[in-house]
A and B are shown apart, each in its own frame.
Chain A
Amino acid sequence: MNPILLIAVPLLAALFAVAFKKIGRVLLGMAAVFNFAAALMITIWYVEPQVIVIGGFRPPFGVSLVLDGYSLTGVLLLNAIFALIMLMSFRHTSKLAAVLSITLAALNGMVLTGDLFNLFVFMEIGAIAAYIITTANRDLRHTFNYLIVGSLGSGLFLFGVILLYTLFGTLNMGDMQSKMAASPAPMQQALILPLVLLFAGLAVETKLIPFGGWVRGVLKDANPLTGSLIVSAYAFAALLVFGRIFGEMFVLSGALLTAFTIVAAATLVLAEASAFSRRTLRETLLYSSIAQSGLVVLLFLNHMALPAVLVLISNVVSKLILFTVSGQLAEACGTDETDRLQGAFFRYPLLGVGFTIAALSLIGIPLFFGFSAKLNALSALFGQGNWILPAVILLMGVVEGVYYIRILSALWHAGQEGETSAKDKLAQFPPVRQAVTGIVGLVIALLIVSAGIVTLSSFGTSGANDFITLIRQSLGGM
């Protein structure tokens, strides 16, 4: 099966949805199911890295896609995440069916493309779709803010791509990489400006501080659909793009590496501190997402692609369920202040199980996937002889542990007798919605536990450098 279908089919669904508005949501659902099934089949039949030529023009002249272990990981999980978001938040999609189908196409395009300008095009489509999706929050000022910052970021990114084309005369990532390796020293100096521009452009979508100033406004009152899309699907695609560019194409060293690492580490520390100081669920979670972005960027920059991808997967999969449940609780209770949601899970244990396991995995409790991911990252950093970064990461892990435990203990707390707590307000929470979210949560929890055990069993022994191979080897070795 040609991976181009992952982009073409949702696009076609979106265009049909424009012409026939009434069946738009049916088309969206079909596109999501098709993409998930197709991604699964592509993964099963995957043998070795391949370049998918478009239009019949050989690379580097035509636009081409790259299917390797890295993009395959992206495609498989991205389409799974998208399908789950649709399953849990389908009722929020009413006006947005066509836009969401386009989003699906754009995110797949971002992960698969092997061409820098094509990457820009897909990022642009994805960003515009995101602006529209965030209008669902009704506070258009925040969306407008996001639009301005996002457009500025895209502009800087495009400027960087133009400069790289001027230097190397090609837009194909692989071709540019080989031309770069053969270029003389002055060229390396000239790379500084385009790389800074690319970094600034990507930093907006990967939410690094200070470029991610738009996030709080857009997400603090986000409905379950908007929230889980931005912190899970979008974050996943954007960070994979970051890894493709700064983890694989351009291997940084010297002053530039130090500068970018400081931005990433500062993001991690400041965002964890902000998350710690917040008292509402969604704000805590959004700052936690920003912090994890900082950590992933840090690992990519320091040439640790596999640990970065593991931390990224652990984060986006957990955040998917955490944000959806928080959004639904906020809808049902009219607030997402942790203290006023006391006992919410006591009333609806089904919602609580997925939430709890996802949170425990993020803290890094052994046997959960988050533990494997963190262990991998720390041992890779120690392996480089680095002591400062692991210390920062461990310290931040403790901070994270404190605020997640605080949230969990509040939500599982039965409350005093006679006290009106969230559990009474939750009485109207529709049982079907509760069951769907609960079951998806259980499935995710199961995946987190099994992936955690499988990857831990082969820790350090597998020579894999991408997630798909790691899982295959781990399963084969059992």
Chain B
Amino acid sequence: MKKFISLLLIACLGAFIFISLYFPGGGTLAFPYYGDVDLNGRVSQAYIDKSVNGPNDVVVYGESTDEESGSANMVTSIVVDYRSFDTLGEVTVLLVSTLGVGILLGGKRKRLEYKHAPNFILKHGARLTFGLLVVFGVYMFAHGHLTPGGGFPGGSIIAAAILLLYLADDEFRVKLAGIKIAEGTAGSLYVIIGLAGLATGGYFLYNFLPNGTVGKLFSAGIIPIVYALIGLKVGSEISGAIDGFATEEVAE
């Protein structure tokens, strides 16, 4: 009976959402079809033109210099510059979640035992792949202001490399104290960069470095630095959480 009522409620909610999205206001479509949105009058157009703080000419890849926000990757300029404060928040979401994992799975722990001991080739093959994966992760966040990617995917790739070591080697463990120091330092530097912006430009998270030429590796001011910090932080944070899941409590 309880299940039936739940199903009925969900069906009603579904119908309500469907009807509201497709027939609001007696047939006039308030929600536009995909691709039909008029970008003028929406904030996104100004992000694309890099014209938030004043009118701007055409942005040319590899030529325009000192453009607003300076990143060739539009998504990155929104995520780490125009709305960097939200990103600081998202970084905090991950931080507080892994703190929760740490509190619930804390105490003295040892590795989970495998039924079959991993063989020599698997262990050492994984170590070789580990290096390549870390380089790929670093590339991902170092290039985040130029190509798709950035600190979150870069950090996740690094954490995936650590996960590989955990899976391939039943004795491997990261040094948790080191992980915590890397995590805390990278995160604090993000906030400190924000405060430096407040001190130099008058705005928290102000991009106080020169923006350079759009499309060059050294461009976009603080964006690559922030992305590197996020990559480091996300990588160490998720590695710490992986350690929590790959270990079990030692009975005392």
Q: A interface vs B, CB < 8 Å?
A: 2, 4, 8, 11-12, 14-21, 53-58, 60-63, 95-96, 98-99, 102, 105-106, 109, 117-118, 121-122, 124-125, 128-129, 131-132, 135, 140, 163, 166-167, 169-172, 185-190, 192-193, 196
Interface residues in B159-198 by Cβ distance below 8 A to A read 180-181, 183-185, 187-188, 191-192, 194-195, 197-198
Q: Does B106 touch A at the CB level, under 8 Å?
A: yes
* Closest A residue by C-beta to B39: A169
A99 engages B25 (CB within 8 Å)? no
* Closest A residue by C-beta to B183: A18
* Closest B residue by C-beta to A147: B100
* A192–B85 alpha-carbon span in the complex (Å): 30
Q: Given contacts A131-B100, A193-B17, could you give 11 more A-B pairs where the C-beta distance is less than 8 Å? A: A11-B191, A54-B203, A55-B81, A55-B204, A63-B85, A102-B99, A128-B93, A135-B104, A186-B28, A187-B25, A190-B25
Give the interface SS of chain B, mostly helix, strand, loop or mixed. helix
- Chain A residues with Cβ below 8 Å from B185 are 19
Known interface pairs A2-B204, A18-B183. Does A166 touch B31 (Cβ–Cβ under 8 Å)? Answer: yes
- In the assembled complex, the CB of B72 is this many whole angstroms from the nearest CB of chain A, namely 18
- Chain B residues with Cβ below 8 Å from A60 are 43
* A20–B183 alpha-carbon span in the complex (Å): 11
Number of interface residues of B (CB under 8 A): 60
* A125–B90 alpha-carbon span in the complex (Å): 8
- In the assembled complex, the CB of B202 is this many whole angstroms from the nearest CB of chain A, namely 8
From B45-53, B119-127, B135-143, give the one contacting chain A.
Answer: B45-53
Binary interface encoding of chain B residues 86-116 relative to chain A, with 1 for a CB under 8 A from any of its CBs, else 0: 1011101101110110011010000000000
* A8–B106 alpha-carbon span in the complex (Å): 28
Q: Does B206 touch A at the CB level, under 8 Å?
A: yes
* A29–B207 alpha-carbon span in the complex (Å): 31
Known interface pairs A61-B82, A62-B82, A190-B24. Does A170 touch B92 (Cβ–Cβ under 8 Å)? Answer: no
A14 engages B95 (CB within 8 Å)? yes
Binary interface encoding of chain B residues 133-161 relative to chain A, with 1 for a CB under 8 A from any of its CBs, else 0: 00000000000000000000000000000
Partner of B198, one of A2, A117, A166, A167: A2
Q: Does B201 touch A at the CB level, under 8 Å?
A: yes
Number of A-B contacts (CB under 8 A): 170
A102 engages B28 (CB within 8 Å)? no
A118 engages B86 (CB within 8 Å)? yes
A–B complex contacts, Cβ < 8 Å, 10 sampled:
A2-B204, A8-B204, A11-B191, A15-B187, A18-B95, A55-B206, A102-B92, A118-B85, A171-B43, A193-B16
B26 engages A61 (CB within 8 Å)? no
* A122–B92 alpha-carbon span in the complex (Å): 9
- In the assembled complex, the CB of A57 is this many whole angstroms from the nearest CB of chain B, namely 5
Partner of B30, one of A11, A63, A186: A186
Q: Does B41 touch A at the CB level, under 8 Å?
A: yes
B191 engages A18 (CB within 8 Å)? no
Q: Does B132 touch A at the CB level, under 8 Å?
A: no
Q: Does B56 touch A at the CB level, under 8 Å?
A: no
Closest 4 CB pairs of A and B: A19-B184, A169-B42, A186-B25, A190-B30
B20 engages A192 (CB within 8 Å)? yes
Q: B interface vs A, CB < 8 Å?
A: 16-17, 20-21, 24-26, 28, 30-32, 37, 39, 41-44, 46-47, 52-53, 81-86, 88-90, 92-93, 95-97, 99-100, 103-104, 106, 180-181, 183-185, 187-188, 191-192, 194-195, 197-198, 201-207
* A319–B54 alpha-carbon span in the complex (Å): 50
* A169–B52 alpha-carbon span in the complex (Å): 15
Partner of B184, one of A17, A122, A125, A193: A17
* A14–B93 alpha-carbon span in the complex (Å): 12
* Closest A residue by C-beta to B204: A4
A128 engages B100 (CB within 8 Å)? yes
- In the assembled complex, the CB of B192 is this many whole angstroms from the nearest CB of chain A, namely 7
Partner of A8, one of B99, B184, B191, B206: B191
A62 engages B83 (CB within 8 Å)? yes
- Chain B residues with Cβ below 8 Å from A128 are 93, 96-97, 100
* A128–B177 alpha-carbon span in the complex (Å): 23
A63 engages B180 (CB within 8 Å)? no
* A124–B201 alpha-carbon span in the complex (Å): 29
* Closest B residue by C-beta to A14: B95
- Chain A residues with Cβ below 8 Å from B100 are 99, 128, 131-132, 135
Max chain A Cβ within 10 angstroms of own Cβ: one of B89, B191, B198, B206: B89
Max chain A Cβ within 10 angstroms of own Cβ: one of B52, B81, B83: B83
A57 engages B53 (CB within 8 Å)? yes
* A60–B41 alpha-carbon span in the complex (Å): 11
* A312–B201 alpha-carbon span in the complex (Å): 38
- In the assembled complex, the CB of A213 is this many whole angstroms from the nearest CB of chain B, namely 13
Partner of A186, one of B16, B24, B204: B24
Known interface pairs A8-B204, A99-B103, A124-B93. Does A57 touch B52 (Cβ–Cβ under 8 Å)? Answer: yes
- Chain B residues with Cβ below 8 Å from A16 are 184, 188
Partner of A63, one of B52, B83, B97: B83
- In the assembled complex, the CB of A300 is this many whole angstroms from the nearest CB of chain B, namely 24
